[in-house]
Amino acid sequence: MVRTILIVAVILSIAAAYYIYLPLPSTISEPWKLMFMDSILRGVMHVSFLAHNLGLSRPFDIAKYAASWDEIKGPQSSPKIRVTETTFGGVQAQVFESTAADQETRLKRGVVYFHGGGWTLGSGKMQTYYFQCWSMAEELDAVVISIEYRLAPEARFPDQYNEAVQASKHILTAKVLSRYSIDPKRVAVSGDSAGANLAAAVAQQMALDNSAPIKFRVQALLYPTLQALDFNTPSYQQNGHIPILHRPLMARFWLEYLNGDPRLVTSLLANNHTAPTPSQEIAVAKAKTNWTKLLPVAFQKNYKPVVPLHGDPMLLEKLPGLLDVRAAPLLAETKVLRSVPPAYIMTCEHDVLRDDGLMYATRLEEAGVDVTIDHYEDGFHGCLSFAFGPFRFSVGFRSFRNYTRWLKENL
């Protein structure tokens, strides 16, 4: 009996080690901790997709349920930070207010923040985002407004975008800014991953909106996803199986956002939505994602563009959002980019989205916009969020410190 138990234990240990272990680059931050954390996340996603395949739930339902366990229950204030829940233009939000200047007349910085999660997962109430916004408010002596936009599948593009713009327009009014003692000349828009996508799109729209006299002073984008025309940029090719954002999962998130059939993942990954002889509209869009011209040579390395032999033009008819600048801010016209505020863009070497951020930085610089690129050679997707919570990484602390320092110096 004891021998049997030992054999079973050894087999389970080997199976667990096999599931946990991933060959990772030696330059990535704390690889064994990252492997363990990623195994948990992958396990949750596998169970979530399995339940969907068995007809028990929708694709991300179990993942959402698991994430909800990490949420802070109700606003929790302290003597230094006051936290409240409210709505802006009908969109829910948490407000983190530094109380340092409550007895003074001076105005504070303001940051409108959009959390990540592939437009499908996540919440500003999750511990990582909650403590991030709390710490930002304290470090910057600011008011940080974390927007709770609706998620897929209840909301699909352009719902998340519309809510992000709606909330931002409501916040950027003299009445609201005065209520929170925010300096109208010192308001930033920021976000990470899919939230950075919304932040970039909002920055473009608000810069063009002549009905909004108060503008964002800066934009701060953390490892943004900005296009879905090329799933084979050098960073997608290099980091396709690197935690925590694997290449197929990013394609799946785009399909959730754009209300596409999840069976199209394989076609997107093969770039079949970009035909070898594209229409004029597609050719113009592809020029704005041409990494052979937009990426510094050091990041191109020895990778080659992936061009499908035949392609499927019908994919763009099924997914028109792929060419919509509201979903893909990298596709904006140069005249639009000229109007946006100065940008901080964080990128990570071990992230499929690295090149989205770097290409956007190039396009902004070519349009005459001041850009700060903050690149982490040991960074991975989502690393800044791991300055907080149970899984803390050194690159998380460093990236958060540099991010808040830039905001403090430029806002």
Return the active site residues.
193
Helix (H/G/I), strand (E/B), else coil: 126: strand
Write down the residue that tokens 């087999």 correspond to: 11
Short-list 69, 314, 89, 352, CA closest to 228 = 352
Short-list 359, 372, 303, 296, CA closest to 331 = 359
Short-list 243, 64, 261, CA closest to 251 = 261
Q: Which helix (H) or strand (E) holds 216?
A: none
Residue 339, classified by CB atoms within 10 Å of its CB into exposed (0-12), middle (13-18) or buried (19+), is: middle
d(CA 344, CA 209): 22
Q: Which two tokens stand for residue 373?
A: 């690129």
d(CA 374, CA 335): 25
d(CA 22, CA 13): 16
Residue 145 has a CB neighbour count (10 Å cut-off) of 28
Is 403:344 a contact under the CB 8 Å cutoff?
yes
Residue 381 CA from chain centroid, whole number: 9
Is 398:140 a contact under the CB 8 Å cutoff?
no
Short-list 194, 303, 306, 307, CA closest to 238 = 303
